[in-house]
Structure 1
């Protein structure tokens, strides 16, 4: 059996785990990052870095480097109804300093962070690592993880263990963190087609009078289409090879007919929001979706996770210097990050209740309400609150 000792063991190589590993390695700490998959090349959804994400990266001197990676800028988005654009939002109304979002393959983004981290000899990473359980001392403090690394049994002993392993977190389950608030009333079906040349690369949402549609750019030239439906409609949407979904997209944008009809890979995503009673225990802390599952609404999950990692790097660095790995110390991450995460989750749920309403009256009035709101300052206020949390905003 492999026996490895390190300062910090991070489980999960999403954006939050990769960034946290880099920031801790920069501080001179020994870091081991474990990833269960054999590589980063898999299908991701919502590969958008919002203006607030760009600001976070700028604050830690990574923005210029990240913008050197292959990407495209997104300057605006719109909401459509009956073939008309009823509302437009522009990124420069959210932030003049960061007047665009960028679409970048998530594998490219993560790999860029790992490439920087690998410059430090105190940073190590293993793919094909399956964490099965937590290691604890006689007092119940987490002191590492047990599982396999490249199919070989392994124990990793760490002063601090971090769960950044996403919405289905093994670390969260093994630590028995209590889930106190789960919200799940709806789902999405996603599929991907080539982006038609006549459409601008922007975020789009369509009120159809039936189930509604999201359209999100996927680098470099793909369109991810999301079809919204309630839990009660779940059995119906799979009928006839997702014919209902295909027909609705073609009805809204007839030019997509050939692309849509040839689509065969449809992926279901539960729209779940989840909060925990706490994020930390002695020797252990959760970040990102492991700590607070965000819904796909607004494509803000990456930003929230990265903000967690920046705070976590600061607190864990202090903990290592002080030799204090207690729940009280590691809970400082939760104290600093949970208020914003909770606020954004509440906002996502409110938006979701409007998008996924089954009330026929509200459903009919919804596009006209949005159109009216677009002519008031309320839209920009909501957009800034959603895409640029108050503790990240600058005067610009």
Structure 2
């Protein structure tokens, strides 16, 4: 079916209500619908046309999409394949990761506009009769059993400040399970806290924040994914074809100081780290061209409550180191769909569903904690000292070793591109094939 529009109704029902139509939320909705589960995905915006920074699609995610028969659709999107990561220090440029050494079907990172990926996933999911996507539906609360029972659904409004229109209208989506895939500022998690069912969180800290902006990319520029290291400064450049998606890494809490120093100081800093960009930093006209990411690394001690599961950044906020946040969230979604589909189709009761939610967390907790541990180590051992340095930074011994030993460059590529515990999709039940298109 095409995306169902239920704006005329004040309530609806589903087996599962997924909050957040990002890559993990839409993929979870697709996988559950593929298994014959009635699933409704809520997205607070009217479309996906926003300036995403998380545009990396990793090899393990590409494998999942290929397993679903979506490889051809992905290939048709305007993506940029990157097979190598290099970092430039004061003493030269070094190769630190080589994705072409991975023994996987897709040995590369794919950078593509996330809105294109999301539209493709939404269209694929809409081919299943049990899938519903409701745009312009912002979750404001949970339907909580006053007697202490499980969460029974969500409350949403049908308009937001980003989508002008008639006055907001209250809508209830009743569901046996609510899945929060709505990011580090999760509305579902906030609603649990208001209801007195908050989930404890461990915070690990991070030494940096990030300023994001675009710079023109010209013929003859380097290709791929590149890091540039200067005295007290770090720049990450993502090759997007006609422009560089640029991350200027600053000390934690340094946003106000950067703004106070002025946009000219930012341009000069970029040119100082990467002189070959000096003649194009003027493309950053003012602070409206700069987006800010407050970096956070944390993890819920428990990812679920009766009737609710949290995945991706809603359960574990990741550092941008390695760009692995989307990949971890997608793997959460694949594992959740595989473990939930059977119990949901069999009509499992609240207790059995709660045990299943605990199984999902047990499966995903170790790769999540391990990835965060590596990110924290990179923060302590490299990023923090680099941002504190007041002299030119030379390549560390490990970086020089990776550059000299090609076979070793496959190790960081595997951690970034595949992950510590990749997930694969289960075959679709024979009686729940997609509607022919």
Is 110-119 or 130-139 further displaced after alignment?
A: 130-139
TM-score under structure 2 normalisation? 0.84
| Number of aligned residue pairs | 393
Q: Deviations over 1:246-302 (max 9, x none)?
A: 112223433433431231311111121110011111111011111111111111111
Tell me, yes or no, if the aligned pair for 1:207 and 1:367 is still in contact at 8 Å.
no
Distance 1:295 1:171, change over 3 A: same
Q: Which SS does the other structure have where 2:313 is aligned?
A: helix
- 2:340 aligns with one of 305, 312, 316: 316
Runs of 4+ in 1 over 6 A off after TM superposition: none
Is 271-280 or 377-386 further displaced after alignment?
A: 377-386
Q: Which SS does the other structure have where 2:281 is aligned?
A: helix
Q: Which SS does the other structure have where 1:56 is aligned?
A: helix
Q: Give runs of aligned pairs for residues 225-244 of structure 1, distance below 5 A.
A: 225-231=246-252, 233-244=254-265
Distance 1:229 1:30, change over 3 A: same
Q: Deviations over 1:82-106 (max 9, x none)?
A: 3831235321123353221111110
Tell me, yes or no, if the aligned pair for 2:15 and 2:176 is still in contact at 8 Å.
yes
Tell me, yes or no, if the aligned pair for 1:347 and 1:386 is still in contact at 8 Å.
no
Are residues 1:355 and 2:383 paired? Answer: yes
Tell me, yes or no, if the aligned pair for 1:25 and 1:117 is still in contact at 8 Å.
yes
Q: Which SS does the other structure have where 1:239 is aligned?
A: helix
Tell me, yes or no, if the aligned pair for 2:233 and 2:273 is still in contact at 8 Å.
no
Are residues 1:299 and 2:323 paired? Answer: yes
Q: Which runs of 5+ in 2 are unaligned?
A: 1-8, 160-167, 193-197, 425-437
Q: CA deviation at 1:243?
A: 2.6
1:162 corresponds to: 179
Q: Give runs of aligned pairs for residues 103-142 of structure 1, distance below 5 A.
A: 103-137=111-145, 138-142=147-151
Q: Give runs of aligned pairs for residues 221-370 of structure 1, distance below 5 A.
A: 221-231=242-252, 233-263=254-284, 264=286, 265-320=289-344, 321-326=346-351, 327-353=354-380, 354-357=382-385, 360=389, 364=393, 366-367=395-396, 369-370=398-399
Tell me, yes or no, if the aligned pair for 2:91 and 2:394 is still in contact at 8 Å.
no
Are residues 1:174 and 2:174 paired? Answer: no
- 1:31 aligns with one of 16, 22, 39: 39
Distance 1:378 1:355, change over 3 A: farther
TM-score under structure 1 normalisation? 0.92
Are residues 1:71 and 2:79 paired? Answer: yes
Are residues 1:371 and 2:400 paired? Answer: yes
Is 376-385 or 121-130 further displaced after alignment?
A: 376-385
Are residues 1:93 and 2:114 paired? Answer: no
Are residues 1:199 and 2:221 paired? Answer: yes
Distance 1:361 1:15, change over 3 A: same
Tell me, yes or no, if the aligned pair for 2:99 and 2:413 is still in contact at 8 Å.
no
Distance in 1 of aligned mates of 2:313 and 2:330: 11
Q: CA deviation at 1:343?
A: 0.6
Tell me, yes or no, if the aligned pair for 2:98 and 2:410 is still in contact at 8 Å.
no
Tell me, yes or no, if the aligned pair for 1:34 and 1:125 is still in contact at 8 Å.
yes
Distance in 2 of aligned mates of 1:345 and 1:77: 20
Q: CA deviation at 1:6?
A: 1.0
Distance in 1 of aligned mates of 2:398 and 2:131: 52
Q: CA deviation at 1:143?
A: 0.6
Q: Which SS does the other structure have where 1:247 is aligned?
A: helix
Q: Which runs of 5+ in 1 are unaligned?
A: none
Q: Which SS does the other structure have where 1:238 is aligned?
A: helix
Are residues 1:383 and 2:413 paired? Answer: yes
Distance in 2 of aligned mates of 1:350 and 1:35: 35
Distance in 1 of aligned mates of 2:201 and 2:423: 30
How much is the aligned-residue C-alpha RMSD, in angstroms? 2.3
Q: Deviations over 1:344-366 (max 9, x none)?
A: 11111111221222554998455
Tell me, yes or no, if the aligned pair for 1:48 and 1:101 is still in contact at 8 Å.
yes
Distance in 2 of aligned mates of 1:370 and 1:227: 21
Is 371-380 or 53-62 further displaced after alignment?
A: 371-380
Tell me, yes or no, if the aligned pair for 1:19 and 1:309 is still in contact at 8 Å.
yes
Tell me, yes or no, if the aligned pair for 1:229 and 1:356 is still in contact at 8 Å.
no
Q: Deviations over 1:302-330 (max 9, x none)?
A: 11111111111112212212413432222
Q: Which SS does the other structure have where 1:374 is aligned?
A: helix
